Amino acid sequence: MKEININSVNHAELVSGCQPPVPAADGVTKVMEDGKAGNQIQALLERNENPPEVLAGTTLHRPMRNFSPISGISKLLKNLYLCGGSAASVAMMQQLGVTFVINATTVTELTDTPLPAEDTRYLRIPVKDNREANLERYFHEVADMIEEESKAGGVVLVHCVAGISRSASLCLAYLMKYHRMSLKDAYNHIKDKRPQIRPNVSFVKQLMDFEQKLYGTRTVTMVYCHALDQELPDIYEPEFRTMELLYQKFRRNIARR
Catalytic residue of the set 18, 83, 160, 171? 160
Across 154-201, the runs of DSSP E, i.e. the strands, are 156-160
Is residue 236 left, alpha or beta, with left meaning phi > 0 and alpha meaning psi from -120 to 50?
A: alpha
Is residue 153 left, alpha or beta, with left meaning phi > 0 and alpha meaning psi from -120 to 50?
A: left
Whole-number Å distance between alpha carbons of 164 and 166: 7
* 171 catalytically annotated: no
Q: Which amino acid is at 59?
A: T
Whole-number Å distance between alpha carbons of 106 and 25: 20
For CA atoms 169, 171, 175, 177, the dihedral sign is positive
| Residue in 188, 156, 159 with CA at minimum distance from that of residue 172 | 188
- Which residues participate in catalysis according to the annotation? 160
